[in-house]
Amino acid sequence: MPHTPSTRRFVQMLIAVVAVFAITLIFRPLSLHTLLTNPLFAIGFGAPLVLYLSALLIGGRASRPPWPPWKEWLALAALGVVLSLLILQQWIIGFGLASTILLGIRALRRDREALLFLLPSLIALFFTLDVSLFLGIISTIPEITYDALAYAGDAAFGTPVSFRVGQLFAAVPILGAICTGIYLAPPPGLIFVYALEAKSKTPPRVDIVTALLTMGAVGYVLYFLFPACGPKFVFPQFPNDPPDAALLAGTLMRAPYAPRNAVPSLHMASALIAFLHARRFGRVATIAAGVFVAGTFLGTMGTGEHYFVDLVVALPFTLAMHALFERRFRDAIAPVVIFFAWLWTLRFHNRFLLDTPWLAWSLLALTLIPWQRLQNSAFAPSSSTP
């Protein structure tokens, strides 16, 4: 029996993210100018824009406007330009706000499918705002970080991988620009998967919007288990002159003002969960999601905001969360064990890991086994989906 997206669940999620945003503002007030110039605010409004365009282009009742199609596009263009000019020429915010308004007009006409696009748009927007506020909170808490341990974990694979990718970006700027763009904009880039789910006859048990929100909330709790900022924040010379890992193994660091949000990489986890969801919709969707996985994989490291081990740890985290979403609780056991095995090894056996290269590669192979099993079984593309 298909699991259609639930407007009730979306309303509950929207209330939750708005409440968190309002409560956080009490302790960390923000000016309107700060919000408008915050890149995450623009990224958040990219989600309504992508969903609105998806509603127009993919099909279903939500794609049929209450007026002729050419008027729909004209309304989006005109309203988007006007709003963008009114808010400091922030074009993504302006067109995202215009998309939200137009989706709202359709929802007021009691079009349930339009509501199924509007609610996730608002959830993605406010969740992104919540993230921007929480990044400020975890930029000083805790004071001690495990960046040296994560760096030594990278070096255990034979080279500090994140530094090498950073050097690659410096040598090939166009590659760096593309991957950085993919890395910085996961919500609008990946939310197209939800548009496919909204019209699918066989959507997953838990839609991608709910999955991303839940993974984000759990991930922010896990940041406190292994706080790390990323190499560019603690190694000012990044990506040049990688330090001697042997001198850093087993040591803790006092990091500057920077978010402790490296382990696990939620950017990578988001790209991976979207890829899993996209596979059921055929080759084009799979390739598009795969591009985001590849771009995120390189972008997270090349920008200096993540280590290679952050991305490795994101894999069992993603698989465990996905198994829980699908209520396959036994399948979550192995990824959970592997996830905490990585954290335990990096934290308490860091020097042994660095001195024993086969151990890092063995753990990596063990990490990939549940992923390979999943790829071969549950997520072959479904012929019953459009």
* pLDDT tens profile 89-127: 677 788 888 888 888 887 787 666 778 888 888 888 888
Q: Hunting for tokens 């894999």 — which residue is that?
A: 315
pLDDT over 90 percentage in the chain: 34
φ and ψ at 145, to 5 degrees?
Answer: -125, 165
Q: Tokens 């939800």 identify what position? A: 194
CB-based burial of residue 322 (10 Å sphere; 0-12 exposed, 13-18 middle, 19+ buried)?
A: buried
Domain ranges of the chain: 1-137, 141-379
Q: Is 84 helix (H, G, I), strand (E, B) or coil?
A: helix
Measured CA to CA, the distance from residue 266 to residue 243 in angstroms comes to 26
Report the alpha-carbon distance of residue 68 to residue 51 in Å, rounded.
Answer: 19
Q: What is the mean pLDDT of the chain?
A: 83
Dihedral of CA atoms 156, 165, 275, 96 in degrees, nearest 10, equals 140
Q: Which is nearest to 129 in space by CA: 46, 18, 210?
A: 18
Confidence at residue 381, expressed as pLDDT on a 0 to 100 scale = 43
Can you give the C-alpha Rg of the chain in angstroms?
A: 21
- Round to whole Å and give the CA distance between 262 and 223: 7
End-to-end CA distance of the chain: 17
User: Which region, left, alpha or beta, applies to residue 327 given φ > 0 means left and ψ of -120 to 50 means alpha?
Assistant: left
Strand partners, 144: 254
Q: Closest by alpha carbon to 21, among 93, 125, 140?
A: 125
Interhelix angle for 329-348 vs 357-376, to 10°?
160
**pLDDT per residue of the chain (386 residues) written in tens, 0 to 9:** 344 567 788 899 999 999 988 888 887 777 666 666 667 777 777 778 877 777 676 655 444 555 666 677 888 888 888 888 887 667 778 888 888 888 888 778 766 677 888 888 888 888 888 887 888 888 888 889 999 999 999 999 999 999 999 999 999 999 999 999 888 776 666 777 887 887 777 777 788 888 888 999 999 999 999 999 999 999 999 999 999 998 888 888 888 888 999 899 999 999 999 898 888 888 888 898 899 999 999 999 999 999 999 999 999 999 999 999 988 888 899 999 999 999 999 999 988 988 888 889 998 998 988 776 666 554 444 433 43
What pLDDT sits at residue 52?
Answer: 79
Torsions phi, psi of 160, nearest 5? -70, 95
Secondary structure in 3-state letters for 246-314:
HHHCCCCEECCCCCCCCCCCHHHHHHHHHHHHHHHHCHHHHHHHHHHHHHHHHHHHHCCCCCHHHHHHH
Give the predicted TM-score (pTM) of the model: 0.86
Amino acid 170 reads A
Tell the residue number behind the tokens 């009742």, with chain if given.
61
Determine the Cα–Cα distance for residues 314 and 169; give it in Å rounded to an integer.
22
Please name the helix (run of DSSP H) or strand (run of DSSP E) that holds residue 144, with its range, or none: strand 144-145
Encode burial over 123-152: b for 16+ CB neighbours within 10 A, e otherwise: bbbbbbbbbbbbbeebbeeeeebbbbbbbb
For 145, the 3-state DSSP assignment is: strand
